[in-house]
Amino acid sequence: MKIIDIQTFGVNMGDGNHVFVKVLTDEHLHGVGEAYRVGPDHAIGPIIDYYKEWLIGQDPTRIEHLWQLMYNGSRFPGGSMINAAISGIETALWDVKGKAHGVPVYQLLGGRCRDRVRVYLGIHGDTPREVADDAKRAVQQFGMTAVKMQPQPPQMELLSWNEVLKQTRERMEAVRRAVGDDIEIALDPHAAMFEPFRALELSEVVRPFRPLFFEEPLRPENIAAMGELRQKIRIPIATGEMLYTKFEFRDLIAAGAADILQPDLLLCGGLMEGKKIAAMGEANYLTVAPHSPLGPISTAVGVQFAASTPNFLILEYRIDSEGGNRDLINQPLKLADGYVEIPEVPGMGIELNEKAFKNNPLRTWRRRPVIEPDGNVGFQ
């Protein structure tokens, strides 16, 4: 079997940009994957096209070989866009290989070590009541056993630090009261704090409410600072969504900077690289909760990973049965009682709805800049 083409689809159905990858073979098999939208999103497609010239004519089942060809063939070790492109191609290759062997991808990764995959849903709201109501909706409508929220109030850069801490407590207290003690609440400050002491103070405010984890309390550039914070903080730190390959996670683990690893399988180098990162974590008594905010293809990859990874903890999830995400695929994976069922069909278990992509191209997007009261552009 040989690769005859690699197609890229830049799509936005109203729920954010997606860069999908489709690998076609001379035996009428194809595989689908996705590259993370690290931004600038329009740049990912040309990188994939560049790699396509290297891969045409290659055997798509030699996934490790092709990964090394792409990663080591680049002039320098890749950054976020290079590794996103590699991840998109790699995940599509696994879909091809599963279909070629007539088995779900997890069977090629050692088989199932669990029967279903626990997921959590992001909740939102500007006020404590709004975020609490969204938490109740996640539990009552979708059966979630865990949710994730931003603990600090929106536009905290415009507030005094004491007010930020006060409103953080109010938000956390409202959500805990709304869902009770049995629902787990993960927290994501979105790497919005520059000073470690502020992250520590914020963690102390939320600690009485027993968060599942505290995600990216600091930005990822200074892993040593995160390691020092972890020695002082009294709630679990989760991090890793902005890191890629086993090499960066090696540094994270060596610094003692995380309790829970969060590789994004569409960015870190792909499914096999995620398995290697998980194995490193397992040897250091760390669990893995993949970053997965994009929707159905990311979910499908995460489910195959989770099914075959013993130290998997929980998977980030976006609802695929409604909104723009529903139009991206032919049929979503089944969600029941806060768990995604593991598909038994060959490959990743999901197919793109390419007919819906027409007239829905990528949109130019950037994160809202944080402008502090004195005009300085702050961290986020």
Tell me if 278 is assigned to some domain. Answer: yes
| % of the chain exceeding 70 in pLDDT | 100
> Do 8 and 157 belong to one domain?
no
- Per-residue pLDDT tens over the stretch 97-127: 999 999 999 999 999 999 999 999 999 999 9
What is the pLDDT, as a whole number, of residue 365? 82
Q: Which of 51, 70, 103 is the last residue of a domain?
A: 103
Nearest to 306 by CA among 355, 265, 252: 265
Range of the domain at 143: 107-357
User: Regarding predicted confidence, which is higher, 11 or 323?
Assistant: 11
- Told to judge if 30 belongs to the known catalytic residues of this protein, a careful annotator would answer no
Residue 380 has pLDDT above 80, yes or no: no
Q: Which of 103, 120, 142 is the last residue of a domain?
A: 103
The active-site residue out of 18, 30, 101, 291 is 291
Residue reference for tokens 């599963």 = 98
- Per-residue pLDDT tens over the stretch 32-91: 999 999 989 999 999 999 999 999 999 999 999 999 999 999 888 899 999 999 999 999
Determine if the pTM surpasses 0.85. yes
The total number of structural domains that make up the chain: 2
339-341 vs 335-336, strand pairing mode: antiparallel
Residue 368 has pLDDT above 90, yes or no: no
Q: What is the dihedral of CA 315, 148, 329, 273, to 10 degrees?
A: -30
Could you tell me if residue 237 is left (phi over 0), alpha (psi between -120 and 50 degrees) or otherwise beta?
beta
How confident is the prediction for the chain on average, in pLDDT? Answer: 96
Residue 376: is it exposed, middle or buried by C-beta count within 10 angstroms (0-12/13-18/19+)? exposed
In sequence order, the 6+-apart residues with CB closer than 8 A to the CB of 185 are: 135, 146, 147, 148, 149, 172, 175, 176, 179, 209, 210, 211, 212
Tell me if 254 is assigned to some domain. Answer: yes
Residue 324 has pLDDT above 90, yes or no: no
> Do 62 and 200 belong to one domain?
no
> Do 131 and 257 belong to one domain?
yes
Tell me if 200 is assigned to some domain. Answer: yes
Residue 349 has pLDDT above 90, yes or no: yes
- Cα→Cα distances 370→156, 187, 195, Å: 9, 20, 16
- Told to judge if 291 belongs to the known catalytic residues of this protein, a careful annotator would answer yes
In sequence order, the 6+-apart residues with CB closer than 8 A to the CB of 111 are: 308
CATH code at position 268: 3.20.20.120
